[in-house]
Structure 1
């Protein structure tokens, strides 16, 4: 069959004259009379029957292969190039399929253009390399601030922060501070026109405890994200945290000349911290600074507290994850051992080592706590154990409010176009 065998199907297009089967047959017929005449002449000369001419070695096999009426010629005519192309359709098909597969693989690996899929209000998009616009609807507590340089301070790029409400339509996220929201009410929120862009993220921002966050139930189903000190917030920004530096620096404990300090600005006899203080001071001398006590030394809280061995890090209310600057700045940054009153010990241990603080719940009464603090005052090795964690960790105190704004930018860039709604803000935050 043509296209399957080793030769071309006869007749082969493009063959030269005299190279076909018929031409070979005519040449052999012309040679036969001349051979017969030479044999007759040899017989008349007495040489006997004319012997066939001697063939070289291997000629018998070659003679058997000589072309005859039923054989193809020994030298096949070369096929034209176009016939060769027709004989390899499988190779051409395989090459075409391979090329298509490589093209598809390259398309799948190519990243989408920045901002692809972003809806109105997405600004330049939330992809890597795209700039994110964040609008602050109210300056917290009505105090204007200069927009921070997120790249220089926190290595967060692509953030454009503004308090200009004229940029509402282009903002990818809008921040609403709860204390100002409670003050102005729902009528202070953006109103149509323009309509709220479907891809715009409204972020509820609050760093007060539930005990000092009124009006939560009025804002159900209004916000997309939450930002607070709670670890389960959409944007988690704690008051501080510990981190392991690349090369730990040696820790040097400041000289301690006093025993216990407490700094308080909001004095309320109904607070658990004030009630506990009144019981503790009956067994232990405590220096109080702030509204009801001594004036802070020049340099502020950290400079003043660094001279004390212990600091009362008492929160104004007790709620999940509500661990404020009273621990991170007033105690840790001042190198004083914190005596904490807030959420349960297990909650503290989610963020700090168990041997870095003293919890009031560890003792059955304020009197027993006072006895233990006096013991540590006299036992230097036992007191220094509360600083063992300093060999591994450094303290970061969150900067209000610059770090919060930049963290929102970072969260928006990471989340892309994910949109959700906080259905019941109060039940979550008060839990």
Structure 2
């Protein structure tokens, strides 16, 4: 995660006005440090103005936290900064602000365009990870018409939805721009995030700011998974690439504290594993799918274990490469909401890594049993989500389908971390 900040460090601490800051000067060095060898000069009592200056430098006024915490920690200030910014932009409005603090019901928003009518304008407040992208052709790629995507903030007043990418929101939280003009009554603010809760800091500061969520979570307002299966119009014969190797793993973020690294270290004691990436072999031309397709099994180990957090490690690295995924992530039941139960092997299916290794060696010698893990391929194909074009286009589709529905996400952290 890139460092946060961007401030110059010249702002006065909470509880002190600007005037107090401008009166301060660097503290004069003690006389004996400037004088060099020789007898020390007789101490003198500094003038009243100098005493006041020194006191202001050494003993600043106590910092007060608006939330009642001593020392005004950044956590508290960040929540207030975002809430004030959202209120100034007109996200909640005066009546909704009262509802936020007094528990009153929110007022209904002005109705949006009826479903299926008109053009939908979507504004991207920050380009994800600061990387500018061309405009997606939603009609050609996803059959979504009437979708206008832009990162030009001058179009704020025309946007039906504004997207805020969580990583960039956290990065820029201390250098937020001046609030935009008052929010149009029908405009929606959408929180967008595709990292797991373990890698999504400061969620607690975003309560009652956004209208919608967009993530890999199935219960998001706009659900965009890393991939999915779709039915073929007719069954097809099963053809697998030639398999010459046993187990592969591609990893870029090596962390000894992660469950996946700990499990790998136990598993490799009982079976050979070819590791590519951070601590292993170089990928030929960086091609994951082509490399993994020579292996029978792939370790689709997630960097953290959370509800619905099933990433490209399964969809692309394993499924697209026609390797049987060995998964470590949410529980088996969670995987089975998205893929057939006989399409993968879960580490929880075995009491120990040693027994898993024995089973993999068994499948290696029994072709018929191994091929059962690909029976689903006769009826389904894999779709791998395209970052970020598909996500932006999905917002247009969701806005048009929502009609007059309106809400505010009251506790983002409680939902996403559940």
**What TM-score does the superposition give when structure 2 sets the normalisation length?**
0.73
- Counterpart secondary structure, 2:284: coil
Once the two structures are superposed, residues 133-180 of structure 1 have per-residue CA deviations (whole angstroms, 9 ceiling, x without a partner) of 000000000000001000000001110000000000110000000000
| Deviations 1:2-40 (CA, angstroms, capped at 9, x unpaired) | xxxxxxxxxxxxxxxxxxxxxxxxxxxxxxxxxxxxxxx
Match of residue 183 from structure 1: 171
Contact 2:249–2:273 (Cα < 8 Å) also in 1: yes
The equivalent of 2:16 in structure 1 is: none
Deviations 1:45-95 (A, max 9, x none): xxxxxxxxxxxxxxxxxxxxxxxxxxxxxxxxxxxxxxxxxxxxxxxxxxx
The question of 1:223 aligning with 2:207 is answered no
Residue 370 of structure 1 aligns with which residue?
357
- Whether the aligned pair in 1 keeps the contact of 2:234 and 2:379 (CA below 8 Å) is no
The 8 Å contact of residues 343 and 376 in structure 2, kept in 1 or not, is answered as yes
Out of 132, 150, 161, the position equivalent to 2:149 is: 161
Instruction: Give, in whole Å, the separation in 2 of the partners of 1:151 and 1:246.
Output: 22
Separation in 1 of the partners of 2:109 and 2:407?
A: 15
CA RMSD of aligned residues (A): 1.5
TM superposition shift of 1:417: 2.4
Structure 2 residue aligned with 1:131, among 119, 138, 150?
119
Distance between the aligned counterparts of 1:349 and 1:386, measured in 2? 14
| 1:265-304 Cα deviation digits (max 9, x unpaired) | 0000000000000000000000000011111123610000
Aligned pairs for 1:145-160 (under 5 A) are 145-160=133-148
Aligned-partner Cα distance in 1 for 2:115–2:360 = 54
Q: CA deviation at 1:127?
A: 3.4
Matched, 1:298 2:285: yes
Cα distance in 2, alignment partners of residues 190 and 292 from structure 1: 44
Show structure 1 runs of 4+ deviating over 3 A.
Answer: 117-120
Question: Which structure 2 residues correspond to residues 236-255 of structure 1 after superposition, within 5 A?
Answer: 236-255=223-242
Q: Deviations over 1:344-380 (max 9, x none)?
A: 0000000000000000000000000000000000000
Is residue 320 of structure 2 the alignment partner of residue 333 of structure 1? yes
The 5 A counterparts of 1:56-135 are 119=110, 125-135=113-123
Whether the 8 Å CA contact 1:262–1:288 is kept in 2: the answer is: yes
Can you list the C-alpha shifts for 1:98-150, whole angstroms capped at 9, x where unaligned? Answer: xxxxxxxxxxxxxxxxxxx9949x6xx35323100000000000000001000
- Matches of 1:159 and 1:245 in 2, distance apart? 28
> Is the Cα contact below 8 Å between 1:126 and 1:132 reproduced in 2?
no
Q: Determine if the alignment matches structure 1 residue 353 to structure 2 residue 310.
A: no
Any conservation in 1 of the 2:364–2:370 contact (CA below 8 Å)?
Answer: yes
> Tell me, which stretches of 5 or more residues in structure 1 are unaligned?
1-116
- Of the candidates 365, 370, 375, which is equivalent to residue 388 of structure 1? 375
Counterparts of 2:413 and 2:326 in 1: how far apart (Å)? 30
Shift in Å at residue 245 of structure 1? 1.9
* Contact persistence 1:329–1:397 (CA under 8 A): yes
CA change 1:410–1:185 in 2 (3 A) is same
Larger Rg: 1
1:198 equivalent to 2:185? Answer yes
Greater shift, 180-189 or 214-223, is seen at: 180-189
Matched, 1:262 2:249: yes
Which among 138, 150, 162 is matched to residue 174 of structure 1? 162
Other structure's SS at 1:298 match: helix
SS at match of 1:382: helix
Looking at structure 2, the residues matched to 422 and 266 of structure 1 have their Cα atoms a distance apart, in angstroms, of: 32
State the distance in 1 between where 2:178 and 2:233 align. 45
Q: How many Å separate the matches in 1 of 2:317 and 2:179?
A: 42
Displacement of 1:250 in angstroms is: 2.8
Instruction: Return closer, same or farther for 1:186/1:409 CA change in 2, 3 Å cut-off.
Output: farther
TM-score by length of 1: 0.70
